[in-house]
Amino acid sequence: MCGIMGYSGARPPLPILLSGLERLEYRGYDSSGVAFFDDSDEIHVIRTTGKISALKDRVGKEEGHPGSAIGHIRWATHGAATVQNAHPHQSGPIVLVHNGIVENEQALKEELRREGVRFDSDTDTEVLAHLVSSAYRAGSDFPSSVQAALSRVEGSYALAIISRDHPSDLVVVRQGAPLLIGVGEGEAFAASDIPAFLHFTRQVYSMKNGEIAFIRHGSVKVGKLLDPPSEWKTPEFSTVSWDPFFAEKGTYRHFMEKEIFEGSRAVMDTFSGRIVGDRALPELLEALGERPGSITMVACGTSWHAALLGRLFIEAATGIPVSVEIASEFRYRPILSSREGWIVGISQSGETADTLGAIEAARKTGYKTLGITNVPGSTMERESGACLLTHAGPEIGVASTKAFQAQVAILLLMSLALSPGHVSMERIESLLRVPVRLESFLESMVSERFDPVIDRIRQSTLVLFAGRGLDYPLSLEGALKFKEITYRPADGYPSGELKHGPIALVEPGVTIVAPMIDSSLRTKEVSNLREIRARGGYVIALGPDIEESQRGVWYDDKVDLPHESASTGIFQAAAVLQYLAYRVAVMLGNDVDQPRNLAKSVTVE
């Protein structure tokens, strides 16, 4: 969590940093700050609580002197969201910003206190500033003092550091938290994520864990934390294809709304070039060898829901047993070794600490590792044995929407790739039609046709989402989306489970949203919904072929989906569930793109 940014170049740095931090704001928004030089080469630090807009107000017309500068947005872990705990943190000539956690903070703090250091904040980051400063004052040069300090630190960090004595220089380090360097004409940028500097350059180097870089204007030297600076080298930059437009709201009111409507493009781009003749994802088996004996999927949140759908696709198409695990639980259980097994981690950001930890734990017991992520250059892409990229483009809204659609798309492709026999052209063609069908459905979704159900949902005391088969993961996802941006009570269940407990919650005022894509289980689902209605619950059915004559019999209201293949229906139903949550949250006046207490990538356990 948290986002960091650094700049070194000939332009006034503050407009660049503020625009970059704004694009990183999805990573946290408890507080923010910048450090920069003035015309007399003095460092200034400006910090504030709240969002970047508050920082912009504090910065005013100040643009900073050309040279180096750093900035930060915070998702609080150590200490409350106060100005004192906001980054940058300064100790003497050293000023730094940090994303990560110092695990031996207490021991280091006690030691520094014994040496007479006074701490001004409750953060673990301040320890780092004092350590670098004390190494620097003891006579090390700037980059070497960072190396000396970090040799004492346990934990994860991405750091951007400036020194009062070197107004053009920037030192950045990556150990367990993402950090990318972008290089332009006579200038360079470092940031937690690419959109922060995508407007300035597409030439990107994704730092590896344990790497440190020394940046002065357009010159970038990278080395290992243990190597002397004289051995550091200019890295190879690659061109990212992401369009800066993705990171703009355009005519939409919120990123989330824009991203819901980008769902069809996300699916289209994820499919593109992935089917050759009757084979999907040929690179998959080339990278990992034979079909696996079993698959274990690990993920968190929305990505876990995509994995639950993936299990259904893969088991049905391939006969390979698939288990789906919540990463934070799986990684701390005894993992039974499986030499023929694949561990498949799914993560939009590719940086979720628990998912990465779960993959690593399984790798150690002999699993082959496959990552599915949306972020090129992420830790997941770099550290998995093989990686499949989804191509949703940058997702800025904290609530995941188009990235979920892209994950579902790639899992459908994976089910084809692992099919033992020949995949029929009919199946392939039907899949390739999905993005176009989704696109035309999304075009129809902007109408007022949802208003009555949205109004009903908004007035409900509790909203339950329930379904069977394919509709169960969709229900979980509908409930998560609803909770995270409306802050209203909601939950998702397999419909067959309702009468084992949750049905006790049902009374007038409670609404049940029931996705009904899985036609094979419709009769059973209808019985469950009748049970709900019999107890005063209000049922909103979402699916194709819901007969008007049944209104008032087993449902109260409905959202019609076109009669399509189940594969298309999943994407359409997901879009509706996202949109319902979005519309209710907007009506409630909530901050849809940056819901309270959340951050986009959860890089701490």
Residues contributing to the site for ligand AGP (CB under 6 A):
300-303, 347-349, 352, 355, 398-400, 484, 601-602
Active-site residue, selected from the candidate residues 51, 258, 402, 600? 600
Beta strands across the sheet bearing 322-326: 322-326, 294-299, 341-347, 368-373, 386-389
Nearer to ligand AGP by Cβ, of 347 and 495: the residue is 347
Q: Are 39 and 33 in contact (CB under 8 A)?
A: no
Read off the amino acid at residue 516.
M
Active-site residue, selected from the candidate residues 2, 300, 402, 481? 2
Angle formed at CA 495 by CA 524 and CA 437, multiple of 5 degrees: 80
For the question of residue 2 being annotated catalytic, the response is yes
| 3-class DSSP state of 164 | coil
Nearer to ligand AGP by Cβ, of 121 and 348: the residue is 348
Q: Which residue do the tokens 């750091």 mark?
A: 159
Closest separation in Å from C-beta 306 to ligand AGP = 8
Distance CA 295, CA 306 (A): 15
For the question of residue 300 being annotated catalytic, the response is no
Distance CA 572, CA 542 (A): 10
In sequence order, what are the residues at sequence separation of 6 or more whose Cβ sits closer than 8 angstroms to the Cβ of residue 525?
467, 468, 471, 495, 514, 516, 518
- Radius of gyration of the chain measured on its C-alpha atoms: 25
Determine the number of helices (DSSP H) and then strands (DSSP E) in the chain: 19, 26
Beta strands 538-543 and 557-560, pairing class: parallel
Token pair of 251 as six digits: 């005519």
525 to 368, 372, 496: CA distances (angstroms): 38, 32, 8
Nearer to ligand AGP by Cβ, of 105 and 354: the residue is 354
Q: Is 536 exposed, middle or buried (0-12, 13-18, 19+ CB in 10 A)?
A: exposed
Closest separation in Å from C-beta 315 to ligand AGP = 22
Closest separation in Å from C-beta 181 to ligand AGP = 22
Closest separation in Å from C-beta 286 to ligand AGP = 26
Nearer to ligand AGP by Cβ, of 348 and 384: the residue is 348
Nearer to ligand AGP by Cβ, of 223 and 301: the residue is 301
> Shortest CA distance to 69 belongs to which of 15, 120, 29, 121?
15
Closest separation in Å from C-beta 414 to ligand AGP = 17
Q: Is 290 exposed, middle or buried (0-12, 13-18, 19+ CB in 10 A)?
A: exposed
Closest separation in Å from C-beta 349 to ligand AGP = 3
- Taking CB atoms, the residue at the shortest distance from ligand AGP is 301
Nearer to ligand AGP by Cβ, of 55 and 177: the residue is 177
Q: How many CB atoms lie within 10 A of CB 408?
A: 28
Nearer to ligand AGP by Cβ, of 147 and 373: the residue is 373
Token pair of 457 as six digits: 């949902």
Residues with a catalytic annotation lie at 2, 600
